[in-house]
Each structure stands twice: as structure tokens, then as C-alpha cells.
Amino acid sequence: MYGWENTVLQVFTVALLTDLATGLGVLPFVFVKNNMSKRWQGIASAVAGGMMISASVFSLANEAIVHGSVLEAVAGMLAGALFFTQVANRVENNNWQIGNLSASDSKQAILILTAMFIHSIPEGVAIGVGYATGDLRFGILLALAIAVHNIPEGIAITLPLYTRGISLWKCSWFAILTSVPQPVLAVPSFLLVSVFKVLLPFGLGFAGGAMIYLVVSELIPNSLSGCSKEETAWGVMVGLVLMLLITSGLGL
């Protein structure tokens, strides 16, 4: 009994550390003053968008196919995009505001945080399922890879928020908040692996679809409003390649 309880505690602790790793994404901005011009804000949105597209296609959608089928991945992506459409409409029809941000900036911030929160749900499931294989070393390595992967995700969250006046301290907490599903769902996934494993492909696709919809509907239009089409295109490319190199290096 002790060994079983000890493993559950280890699953939760490791998943919690992967969550906290997302907050480290603010570190590169410690050396950057928050006085970016409209042009650089647009480029930042493009880079963040490229990172999110890369994570959605090369990590989430690819893993959905590996763990399930193309149809499950596609169904999940379409469901994620449809769900996020409803979320965006709900945010649009409410006057929610974050700090001193304008209504439009607050809307975008809420949508970014929501999309990344959804993105963290299947990652939490993956940690639990990884541990449930019985190979604790595999579970630890998978969690470590996700933790390192969460750092650039924290950068992708911070990029558009910091340029709009949100402090690094708040950006860090927002980033950590988006990864809360990881420690929350890791233990249930470990205990009920047969149930969660079946849902994993659809969940991965769902998160990918939601993030792609966010990028196309919010980040790219915002980028185009601040910089040229060429700068937006290159910003997306840089972000996409950067995230691809990271995920490939981690074997995700």
C-alpha cells in the first residue's frame, strides 16, 4: 500500500513541477524593457502564433494520430475549433477586463489563457498515462520533456501579454495557471488509465484545434494591424521553427 501511495504522490509532485516550469517562460523578458512599439508588438504576436501552430500540428495532432487515428485527431481538432468559437463569442459579449488593459486587449488575453489551459489538459493526462505503463523511469522522462516543453509555451503566453502592459510577475502566474490541469489530471489519469487513455487522442486534437483557431482569429490579425505582411509571415515562421526544434529535440 505504501508503494502505491508513494507512486501517486510522485505523479502529483512531478506534474506540479511541470506546471511551475511554465512560469519560467518569463525569464527571457527580464532583460527586455516593456516599451515595444506597435510594430514589435505585431511581430511578437506573430512569433507567439507560430509557436502555437507548431505545438498544435507537430506535437498535439501528431501525438493524437500516434495514440489513436487520423479520424480521432480530426474530430478532436474540429470540436476544439467549434468550442473555441463559442468561447470567443462569449468573451466578445461580456465586458471582462484584465488590469489596465483595454477591452480588446483583455479579450485577447483571456482567449490566449483559455487556449493554453485547454492545451494543458491532455498533457496532464499524458503524464498520468505515462506513469501507468509501470515504467517509472519512462514516466519521469516524459514529465521532464513536458516540463522543458512548457518553458517555450510560457514564452508564447508572455509574448502577447507583456507587450500589452501586463507585468512579468502576473505573466508568470498566468502561465502557471494555464498548466494547472497537469497536476490536477495526472493522478486521476494514472488511477483510471483505461478510461483516460481512450480519450487522449481526441483530447490532443481538441487542444490543437482550439489553439489553431486562436492563432488565425486573434494573433495573426493583431500582428497584421501592427506590422507588415512580410514581418508577420516571418514572425510566424520563426516561432514555428523554434518550437519545432524544441519539440523534436525533446522527442515529443
The answer to whether the beta carbons of residues 72 and 223 sit under 8 Å apart is no
Count Cα atoms within 13 angstroms, Cβ side, for 221: 8
d(CA 179, CA 3): 27
User: Mind listing the pLDDT tens digit of every residue in the chain (252 residues)?
Assistant: 445 677 788 889 999 999 999 999 898 888 777 666 778 778 888 888 898 898 888 877 888 898 889 999 999 999 989 988 988 888 877 777 776 677 777 888 888 888 888 888 888 888 888 777 666 776 777 787 778 778 888 888 888 888 877 889 999 999 999 999 999 988 888 888 767 788 888 888 888 888 899 889 888 998 898 899 999 999 999 999 988 887 777 665
Smallest CA-to-CA distance from 223 within 163, 179, 158, 138 is with 163
- Model-level pTM? 0.76
Residue boundaries of the structural domains of the chain = 2-250
- Cα end-to-end span (Å), the chain: 33
d(CA 214, CA 195): 29
